[in-house]
Amino acid sequence: MASIYKRPDCKFFWIKYHDPARPLFNAHGKRVQRREPTEFRHDLAADVRRAHALKAAKTAIELAEPVGAGAAGEFWDAWVVAFLEAKYRNAATTLIRAKTAWRSLRMFLAYRRINRPRELKREHAFEYLTWRAKPDRKAGKYRASHNTARLELIFLSIVMDEAVLRHYAAGNPLVKLGIKRDEARIRPEFTQAVLDEIAAAIEREKGPYKTMLRNSFWIARWHGRRFAETYLNPMKDVVYDAKQRIYLITFRNKGGKLSTKKLHDELVPLFERLRAARVAETFPYSKRMSRVWHDFLKRVKDVDGRSIPERFPNACFHSLRVTVISRMARNRVPQRDSMEYVDHASTEIHRAYRRVNAKDLADCEKAVR
């Protein structure tokens, strides 16, 4: 069985494994495991996941039983990633999502010792929903929602369709699973009064997280960014274009994709101060930041003592993104432009962020008279 381990003199994981294609023997002729460094750091959560995925892949190869000439090509690691890259070569965002889904699926398949498509059964799909909902930080596995696990099973079904075409399986057991989506929580739009309340409350804050609250709020307030995208390097991610006489800001979207926009005029003073101070980050990074924002919104109360989540159910930092998109829709910004502004690739997802009411559609009534 393959295993990963740490060495006191190295910040990267090491891996021990047997390689059937390159067996290693000691001086006594006994077969031993290979020991090699990986490229994954043990102090980064994302790398922990990748290291465990590598261990699972090596273990699957060790457990694979030879079943005749050419059978090795059936094993997941021999073809799935290459298949996904070929299928989604012209859809970069989908390819990133497919590979992310496959990392979790591959970990489950190794856990259940399902080494080839022909070994997958229908009941494994329902077992996956339960397995995916349980976190295991030591194994690099994080909890996923029902909808995320369901989407990952869709990718697995696509892989199985290809396996059938390649004669690696007699059929696809994941066809018509009938697993329904959970209704997504509707994030509310913040009114101008609430935005003013939040801004004032931030200035009253004391403690080490004030800078994080202030800078992440204003970046999301004017650009509609996700929380992770507000963590920037002002010296590298914001530059002044002398030819156009504007500041440009580069965000890192999901999957690491870069997106450069014109910096909103309201944010110019903030980034000029940060750049003048030559700071390397918009705020000190902490693993508690999401929790800090969650607790902060509970402390922002109106004259009746009601917190923001009490007045606006499901309110969170992401509501700032909803607010920006809804305001653009209300002000007749073309959908194509608003999607580009916030980097939405899906029109369906983008529409889900818009909060417009009957009054906002008054122009439509006038048009049909």
Dist CA 131 CA 129 (whole Å): 6
Helix 45-63 vs helix 92-111: crossing angle, to nearest 10: 60
Residues 274-305: b if buried by 16+ CB within 10 A, e if exposed: beeeeeebbbeeeeebeebbeebbeebeeeee
What token pair was written down for 235? Answer: 């010296």
Q: Average pLDDT of each block of 10 consecutive residues along the chain (369 residues)?
A: 87 88 76 89 85 82 52 81 92 86 92 92 95 81 87 95 93 92 84 95 93 96 94 95 94 85 96 95 88 93 91 92 92 90 84 70 57
Domain edges within the chain = 1-63, 72-183, 192-366
Q: What's the pLDDT at 158? A: 96
Amino acid 332 reads R
CA distances from 28 to 19, 24, 32, 176, 272 (A): 19, 11, 10, 55, 67
| CA angle, 210 then 284 then 241, to 5° | 100
Q: What's the pLDDT at 24? A: 81
Q: What is the CA radius of gyration of the chain?
A: 25
Dist CA 106 CA 77 (whole Å): 9
Q: What's the pLDDT at 67? A: 40
Is the separation of the CB atoms in 79 and 73 below 8 Å?
yes
Amino acid 274 reads L
Arch. (CATH architecture) of 192-366? Orthogonal Bundle (1.10)
For residue 323, give the 3-state DSSP assignment.
Answer: helix
- E strands present in 220-365: 238-241, 246-252, 258-262
Instruction: Look at the alpha carbons of 101, 93, 286, 298 in this order and tell me if their dihedral is positive or negative.
Output: negative
pTM of the model: 0.59
CA 226 from centre of chain: 11
Is the separation of the CB atoms in 31 and 18 below 8 Å?
yes
Q: What's the pLDDT at 311? A: 92
